[in-house]
Every structure is written in structure tokens, then in C-alpha cells.
Structure 1
């Protein structure tokens, strides 16, 4: 299996401009990267001042590139209405010629991102909202008639067109079995918090127990200073290089992007987010 390489970019501060994000994505495509994925946050603590909207940034990436896969990584579905998300995802799939990937997860309230806006803070409730929201979202994207009336969401006698094929990657922390089980029902698992390449053996074994479908993606991210070589050929289909979240310098970011996946440690030194 060939491992694809992508960028995992926080559109914060120096990058909090969809025009800058589009420029970086165009440079990434020219430099040989395979994907360009964007963090989705409304706030990120005191060290981050400016944040760009992920959907506007995704549209900019779609318009500036022809080959890259891209998308939000990840969107807390419980903070979104699945019917609005379905319209956004379908439109971005059309705009990009089918290159849009939808990353979804629980999110967390460690920085007050949910509580500050009155959103659901209980992760167990958000888990139930995620499962139900995925059901509604998938049904709406299919283009088939949908009639759903659940504890969190309703979609009564509706049908969305255009239908769209949108891969869904679910995120979860290493060692937590529920996210892997959930992800195996969809198209990929973005696993967070791996300590070393050997942890991938446990991830792939756990996923194997849930029988994911063909073409299922296992995705991880590394800091720019981490050598990707030991992580390749260990069961991951994507290894992303993380850019952010703090003290971003545009010149340093450009050096990493333009160096390409063969030399992704060329200039940025960031702490883990």
C-alpha cells in the first residue's frame, strides 16, 4: 500500500485568511502533496487570536487546486445541523470535482469551545448526536427520500439533490475503542495521539475486528520535526504533517509547503497542539 502525504493546517492568525489558505493549497499541489486538510475551530484559547472559517477556506482550496484531496479535519458534527452540513458537503464535492473529504468527530470542550456558545458539553450526548447526525447526513447525501424524526434531529419527507459521494473520516483518540468501531462503518479513521509507529499495529488490528470496507483509510498526523519514514508502510494510508496551532509564521509555513512531502521538516518547529 502506498502511503499518501498531506498537510494538516490550522487556519489561525497568520493563516486566518482564505486567500492565504488558497495560495498555500496551490503551492502544496505544485510541490507534490496529496492532501490539504483544515482544522475546524471557532476559538482556540488565548494564544490564538484570529481564525478563518473552514468552509470558506475549503471553497478557496477547491478553486485553487485540481488534484488535492481536501476537507475539514475535523468538524464536530454535534455543533452543526446535518442538513446544512449535507448541503455544504455536496456543494464542495461538486465544486472540486469529487475531491472533498468530510472529517467528523466529537470535538472536545477543553478550551471552552462548546460551553462558550451554549453547545452540548457532555461527550456521551455528543456521541449520540454524532451517530444520529451521521445517519441523517448520509441519507441526505444519497439523494434518496429521507424521513427521520429522532431525539436530536429531524428530516421529514425531504430529498436533497444533487446527490454526492463524499468520503467520511471519523476521528478518535488512540486507545478509545468506540471511535474505531464508529469509523469502520464509514470511509476512514483519523487516529489522534499515537505515541509511536508500533501503535498502528493495535489500531489496524482493532479496525480489523469491525471489518471496514475496501479502500478504508487510516490517517495520522505528525509534527513537522517528526520523521515520517518510520510511520510509512505500517498500515496508515495517509500521513499528514501538522501546521499549527501556535505562533505561525507565514514564511516558515511556505517553506514547509514548498519543500514537498520529501522534506516536510524544512523550517517550522511547533509544539504539539
Structure 2
């Protein structure tokens, strides 16, 4: 299968309006893109002012499109309650007709996005929270019975409906082993911080050691001015074009999207 092309859009400042994001997604589908994924942040430093909620944006995308895959890329599970996240993900899966992809990671506290709100600042602890939260979340999404009391989460004798099939992509920085091992147990690996396409050989070799399931996705993102050609057919099933995070201009975003993949 050929590499699919998507957009990796920060809903910040000029794009911090779910209606605008929905318009852009409709244009992206018309232009031939395969996916439209939005960042999930509460704040992003002094250079970013306005930020839209990714879940409302995803609902707008789902309603304005018929073919695009969509989802948050990525949601830090350690700052969310897995049972609430399961309800949100299931509803978006239904609303989109099965086109929803759930991107997850531990998040980053570089601008106080955790510590500034009293959430867990230690990335090692957030890693344990992510693993435990994934156990609860995936069972709830699948409609299975959950009776869990752990270090960070509790779900006592519950079962959620509707049961839905939601692909889960785990994010991690290139060279870190834990995110790769975690991702291999799910549906995809969004690799952050690659220096060049040759790094995909290292990613592919590392993943092979963990035996991911058939159809496993390897996802990378590029700047709009980067040459896509060297990245294609190098082991990535998705190559995303990044729009953001700084100095966003609606007209420029439309130009990138309308140009197509």
C-alpha cells in the first residue's frame, strides 16, 4: 500500500476556531488528503495566544467530511481520566462513521502544561500512568468488563456501550525505547524528532523486534517546505504535513491544504 498523506494542524491563534478547522478539513478532503489530525494542548508558550479544544475540532471535522481519518495527535492520557476519554473517543468514532484515530502519549511539561495545573510533572510517572490508563481505556472501548483498582486509576465493575474499534497510535521521540515498545502493542507509532528518512530504517528494525500486528502504522510529520519524496516508501505508512504552531496565517494554511498532498 502506498504511503498515505495527512495534515498535522495546530488549532492555535488564526486557526483557534472549530468552525475554521472544519472548513479547512472540508477543503483538505476536496484536495485529496487522507487525514486531518489536530494538536492537543492547553498552552504553548508566549508565542501562542488562542487555542481551540481538539475534541470540539474533531467533531467539526467529522461533520464536515466523509472520507478523512481524523483525531487528536496527540492527547496526553496522564492528564485525562480514561473513562471520560473512552466516552469521548467512542462518540467521535460513531459520529465519524469509524474514521476516528486516537493518538496518545505522555505529554511534555516544557511550558508547565502539567505542573502549571497541578498535574503530574514527572515523565516517568506519566509513563506509568499512560500504561495503566491504556489498560482501562482499551477495555472500556472494546465493551469489556472492567474491575480495576490501580496506582492511578479505578474503574469498579463497569462496562461501556457502544463497543467501538478505535485505532490507537502512540507517540514517542526517536531513540526512546519505551514509546516504541508501548506503541507496538497497539496500532501505530507516531515518531517525533527524526533527523532524516534514513532514521526510518532504525525505527522499522526496532519495531520488528517487538512484533507489531499486521497493518501497524508508522507515522511521521514534515514541515510544509520539506521534500516528501525521500520519505515515501521508507517504512512510513503515513507522512503528515505540519501546519503550525507559530505565526499561523489562515490564507497560508489554505494555500498548503488546497495544493493537495
Q: TM-score range by the shorter chain?
A: over 0.9
2:119 — aligned with what? 119
Is residue 190 from structure 1 mapped to residue 190 from structure 2 by the alignment? yes
**Matches of 1:206 and 1:145 in 2, distance apart?**
33
Q: Normalising by the residue count of structure 1, what TM-score does the alignment of the two structures yield?
A: 0.95
1:143 — aligned with what? 143
**Matches of 2:4 and 2:222 in 1, distance apart?**
13
Is residue 21 from structure 1 mapped to residue 17 from structure 2 by the alignment? no
Matches within 5 A, 1:64-213: 64-213=64-213
How big is the shift at 1:87?
Answer: 0.1
**Matches of 2:8 and 2:119 in 1, distance apart?**
25
**Matches of 1:25 and 1:245 in 2, distance apart?**
17
Show CA shifts across 1:59-81 (max 9, x none).
00000000000000000000000
**Matches of 2:190 and 2:181 in 1, distance apart?**
12
1:270 — aligned with what? none
Partner SS state of residue 214, structure 1: coil
How big is the shift at 1:258?
Answer: 0.7
How big is the shift at 1:153?
Answer: 0.4
Partner SS state of residue 130, structure 1: helix
How big is the shift at 1:195?
Answer: 0.2
**Matches of 1:189 and 1:138 in 2, distance apart?**
16
How big is the shift at 1:85?
Answer: 0.2
How big is the shift at 1:27?
Answer: 0.2
Q: Normalising by the residue count of structure 2, what TM-score does the alignment of the two structures yield?
A: 1.00
Show CA shifts across 1:166-205 (max 9, x none).
0000000000011000000000000000001000000000
Deviating above 2 A after TM superposition, structure 1's stretches of 4 or more consecutive aligned residues are none
How big is the shift at 1:145?
Answer: 1.4
How big is the shift at 1:37?
Answer: 0.3
**Matches of 2:222 and 2:111 in 1, distance apart?**
22
In the alignment, structure 1 segments of 5+ residues that lack a partner are: 262-273
**Matches of 2:237 and 2:216 in 1, distance apart?**
8
Show CA shifts across 1:223-247 (max 9, x none).
0010110000000000000000000
**Matches of 1:73 and 1:200 in 2, distance apart?**
20
For the aligned residue pairs, the C-alpha RMSD in angstroms reads 0.4
**Matches of 2:108 and 2:250 in 1, distance apart?**
28
Show CA shifts across 1:235-270 (max 9, x none).
000000000000000000000011100xxxxxxxxx
**Matches of 1:4 and 1:252 in 2, distance apart?**
22
How big is the shift at 1:146?
Answer: 1.0
Partner SS state of residue 191, structure 1: strand
